[in-house]
Amino acid sequence: MSKHYVFVANWKMQLSYAQTILYCRKNHQELKALAALPHIQQLIICPTMPAINAVKDLMQDTSVLLGAQDCSCFSAGPYTGEVSAKSLAEIGCAYCLVGHSERRIFFGETDARAAQKIDELLNEKIVPILCVGETYQEYCSGLTQTVLENHLRALTENIRAQNRIVNQLLCAYEPIWAVGTGIVAVPEVIEPVLRFMHAWFLRECPQIQKVTCLYGGSLDEKNIQKMISIKELDGFLVGGASLDFQKFKNMLSYGL
Ligand code: PGA
| pLDDT tens per residue across span 212-248 | 999 999 999 999 999 988 999 999 999 999 999 999 9
Report the SS3 class of residue 47: coil
- Provide the percentage of residues in the chain whose pLDDT is more than 90: 96
90 catalytic? Reply is no
pLDDT category, 3, cuts 50, 70, 90?
A: confident
More confident residue, 166 or 254: 166
174 catalytic? Reply is yes
3-state secondary structure 101-133: HHHHHHHCCCHHHHHHHHHHHHHCCCEEEEEEC
Pocket of ligand 1 (CB under 6 A): 10, 174, 179-180, 216-219, 237-241
pTM value is 0.96
Closest by Cα among 173, 157, 170, 150 to 207: 157
Kindly tell me if the per-residue pLDDT of 210 is higher than 70: yes
Q: What pLDDT shows up at residue 129?
A: 98
| pLDDT tens per residue across span 110-135 | 999 999 999 999 999 999 999 999 99
Residue nearest to atom 2 of ligand 1 (CA): 239
Residue 121 Cα to ligand 1 middle (Å): 22
Question: Atom of ligand 1 at shortest distance to CA of 180?
Answer: 5
